[in-house]
A and B are shown apart, each in its own frame.
Chain A
Amino acid sequence: MNRHHRLACSTLALLAGHALAAPLVFVSSEKDNALTLIDAATLTVQGTLPTCKRPRHMQLAPDGKRLLVACGESHAADVIDLATRKSVGRLALGDDPEAFDISPDGKTLFVSNEDEGTLSFIDIARGQKRASVAVGKEPEGVKVSPDGKTVYVTSEVASLVHAIDIASAKVVKNIQVGKRPRRMAISADGAELWVTNELDASVSIVSTQDHKLLHTLRFEVPGARAADITPVGIAMTRDGRRAFVGLGRANHVAFIDVRARKVTQLVLAGKRAWNVSLDKAEARLYVVNGLSDDMTVIDVAAAKALKTVPVGRVPYQAVVVE
């Protein structure tokens, strides 16, 4: 590509970005104190956005206009206005926040405090901690049930998922799952909780009715040993029929038929394929690779990687803003 051509391309991209507001992918990287912004149309890096220290889990605020970024070493979430792409405030999250979820009414944020071994309830409007529940050590993934009554949190050390009643802020059940549980997804009908087990090469499928283990889905990757299959990230389609799991050091993403509880495809990604995120159309899956500092973009229909884009140091998660 000659210089002239390149210039024309980037101008085009810039124009497209402004006129059509092409989707933008925000990627947090643990070692950068910044987010990498990627144009989803061209799959090129548009720039970086400074944020708080050690950004990890990100989620859109219920209004869809702001992005919340949990920062482990700032003990807060950075609140980023998506229209201006500027930080507009901080929300205190307690010591060493890792992952969070937001109640369906948008009022409460539930965050795991990794060092303390607690799950904190944060009143978003007041910016205050409402309650704190002691859980097993190194709590990680957080998921609120669609009815807003229960919040689930994994403890990596205890190999438990704690089911916590939101109204009383009490643990109602400790559910034994596989070794080092990480992230969770809830099926479209709300009946099943899927939990990735990093050191068990598996997903535990738990009933949300009685909190009993229904099934353990084990992963196998040709040429990889069980010890190298370390699932972490999980995403499900809105209709609840398909799930996607990043298999960590096996460097693949598993596509899963949820009803059949079977892996349908394995797609090669980068090193230590970690958190996975879908776009709104569920046409593309964005996979961050923790050991190769890049992000693999997968065409869901074709089950094929389109491109791998360099991002920040130790990328954690991608969020598609469209």
Chain B
Amino acid sequence: MRPCATFATFATLALLALGTCLLPVSAATLRATLIVPADDARLERTRLERAYLGHPGGPAHAGVQVALDEAKFELDAAGAGVAFDPIGAASLEAARAAAQQAEKAGAAALLTDLPADWTRAVAEAVKLPVLNIGNAADALRQADCRANLWHLLPSERMRADALAQALVARKWSNVLMLTGPSASDATRGAVAEAALKRYGLKLVAAKPFKLSADPRERDLANPLLLTGGAAYDVVWVVDSEGEFARALPYRTALPRPVVGDAGLTALAWHAQFERFGAPQVVRRFAKATQRPMTAHDWAAWMAGRALVAAALAAPKGPAAAWAKALTGSELDGSKGVAMSFRAWDGQLRQPLLLTDGQGVIGSAPIDGILHPRNALDTLGADAPEKLCRARS
């Protein structure tokens, strides 16, 4: 699959790709290829309009482009350049082929916003560093990890740890967990339960829910029935799809808060974050894209910033120097601390924001949660767990 010929059907992508192909690209330009699903159900109009927390707000290339545009001054000043082109892949095989093609064509890095198995296939097919900007699956950081696979988006476990820390700080210790019917819900539910255990919170009951108006299934679908008959401090809802969770707060049998995929949610970013220069970033993003910057957009923007950092560290290359600088630099992501990649699972360590969707209520790691080296490493898998064999 060639970057410039395959997806005339995708207007924005085609335009962008055309732009990059026409630009004279000098030998010292760091080139990266972003691989996304050709037909992405997450980006269907009606889905985007619902704007569920923790879901993408639009195509991933926007965040990367904003990062590259805003770095123009320092790139020019250093005589460095970064070019990137997005490619749509219709299948796992197509994604793998696109990755190999990009590597052959001289790309210094790949960016992916793909399903977990596609991401893994891409990382296995190339030697290039692969920056995962859109997939939060813990498996990609653990059993399915790869030495050349790096993650900008926080993992599900990081998000669950952040929420569990918030519950500890509030002393909301008794948790009722509601989990949806999908395979993703089952995996994420297990991750959430493990976080409860890690932080000494008590799971008072775990119940499955189902979206349904069928009176025969009302035990599964009615929030009052689901949340009645138990004593708890908080309801933790695991709903990868989003529709059930959105309507759960204020409909519980007891007057208790909801956390998880609605109510209080832990995210990499929120457009209402007010500290550390975040409003300027959000404004630049909104100016370029006419939409608010989501957590996925932040991860894409950070990948762009990593590309820029690599190009600045080695303005003339070579590719090996770029690859080293790409994941070895400390990055500034307007969250108040310098962030870096964890050697043991390739994950970017970072603070998470706790939000109800309207504003930012707090951040994690929570004050007072300690770690022997870096408090950021209380979020997600830590080194001694040795969960990624490819890196140990």
Interface residue ranges, A against B (CB under 8 Å): 114-115, 117, 134-138, 155-160, 174, 179-180, 199-200, 225, 227, 230, 249
Contacts and interface: CB of A to CB of B under 8 A. Distances in A.
A164 to B, nearest CB: 13
Contacts of B337: 199, 227
Interface in B275-321: 277, 280, 283-284
Contacts of B338: 179, 199-200, 227
B43 to A, nearest CB: 28
Nearest to B371: A225
B280 A115 contact: yes
A134 B72 CA distance: 11
A227 B337 CA distance: 6
Nearest to B338: A199
Contacts of A136: 73-74
A10 B74 CA distance: 55
Contacts of B277: 138, 156-157
A155 B76 CA distance: 15
Interface in B228-263: none
Task: Output the residue of A134, A156, A227 with the most chain B CB within 10 A.
Answer: A227
Contacts of B73: 117, 134-137, 155, 158, 160
User: Chain A's interface: helix, strand, loop or mixed, by majority?
Assistant: loop
B336 interface: yes
Contacts of A227: 337-338, 374, 376
Given A179-B332, A199-B332, A230-B336, A160 B280 contact: no
A114 B332 CA distance: 17
11 contacts: A135-B73, A136-B73, A136-B74, A158-B71, A158-B77, A174-B78, A179-B330, A199-B330, A199-B337, A199-B338, A200-B338
Given A158-B74, A160-B77, A225 B336 contact: no
A72 to B, nearest CB: 10
Contact of B280 (A138, A179, A200): A138
A114 B280 contact: yes
A160 B74 contact: yes
Interface of B: 70-71, 73-74, 77-78, 277, 280, 283-284, 330, 332, 336-338, 374-376
Contacts of B283: 115
A134 B375 CA distance: 38
Contacts of A138: 277, 280
Contacts of A180: 332
B71 A157 contact: yes
Nearest to A174: B77
Contacts of A249: 336
Nearest to B280: A138
A174 B74 contact: yes
4 closest A-B pairs by beta carbon, nearest first, are A158-B74, A174-B77, A199-B338, A136-B73
Task: Output the residue of A137, A155, A179 with the most chain B CB within 10 A.
Answer: A137
A122 B374 CA distance: 45
A179 B335 CA distance: 13
B312 to A, nearest CB: 8
Contacts of B332: 156-157, 159, 179-180, 199
A196 to B, nearest CB: 14
A123 B78 CA distance: 32
Nearest to A248: B336
A137 B76 CA distance: 13
Nearest to A290: B275
B293 to A, nearest CB: 15
Nearest to B330: A179
Given A180-B332, A225-B374, 9 more contacts: A115-B280, A138-B277, A156-B277, A156-B332, A157-B70, A158-B71, A158-B74, A160-B77, A200-B338
A137 B70 contact: yes
Contacts of A155: 73-74
